Amino acid sequence: MDDRELIDKTLQGNTHAFTFLVRKHQKLVVHMVARLLDNKEDIEDVCQDVFVKVFRNLNKFRNDSKLSTWIAKIAYRVAIDYLSRKNRQIITESDEILSFTEPETSADLPDTILENKELKNIMVTEIEKLPLPYRTIITLYHLEEFSYKEIEEITGIKIGTIKSHLSRGRAILKEKLTFALTQQRYEK
């Protein structure tokens, strides 16, 4: 069943159709909310709020964009609202990050790196430490494979800024990766 059919059935009062819709887009919402929120205990509640908002506004959905883009937009807004309520600083670009330039050199990686769970965990933590806009854009681009245009629609951030956030975010992570690898080699 495609999205349009599920929407129509939900609007006719079929709550099972909405359950299918939730199952279909659950991963997208969880990925976005989990990357944006630090407090793991609140993720589930925020995900619920996202789907409740989707349900309430489903009649306003027009087919001018994909349903996943529309849901991602709602998820982004709900998560941002939640963070604002919690008085968190949403944009935390420190001077260090703004003046960051991509490292010139890149280390060769050993074949065993894919089995290195410790390094993977370090890198996942480093993603979580990135400023919120970087994290959001990286998640939408790499994990959900949205286009620049769709990310602009979801976040309201201009395409030029999206591209620069993406490359800065990657550069930061690349440096952290190099640092973590050096440290691991040194420990050995």
**Per-residue b/e over 46-69, b at no fewer than 16 CB within 10 Å?**
bbebbbebbeeebeebeeeeebbb
Binding of residue 24 to other proteins (CB under 8 A): no
Of 18, 5, 103, 105, which Cα lies nearest the Cα of 54?
Answer: 18
Binding of residue 11 to other proteins (CB under 8 A): no
d(CA 23, CA 61): 18
Binding of residue 58 to other proteins (CB under 8 A): no
Of 77, 75, 79, 78, which Cα lies nearest the Cα of 28?
Answer: 75
Side chain identity, residue 7: I
Binding of residue 184 to other proteins (CB under 8 A): no
Interface with other proteins (CB under 8 A), residue from 47, 78, 132, 151: 47
Binding of residue 143 to other proteins (CB under 8 A): yes
Binding of residue 142 to other proteins (CB under 8 A): yes
Of 32, 119, 143, which Cα lies nearest the Cα of 82?
Answer: 32
Tell me the window of 60-68, 86-94, 107-115, 154-162 that interacts with other proteins (CB under 8 A).
Answer: 107-115
Indicate the residue among 51 and 70 with the shorter CB distance to other proteins. 51
Interface residues with other proteins (CB under 8 A)? Answer: 13, 15, 18-19, 22-23, 26-27, 30-31, 34-35, 40, 43-44, 47-48, 51-52, 55-56, 106-109, 113-114, 120, 123-124, 127, 138, 142-143, 170, 173-174, 177-178
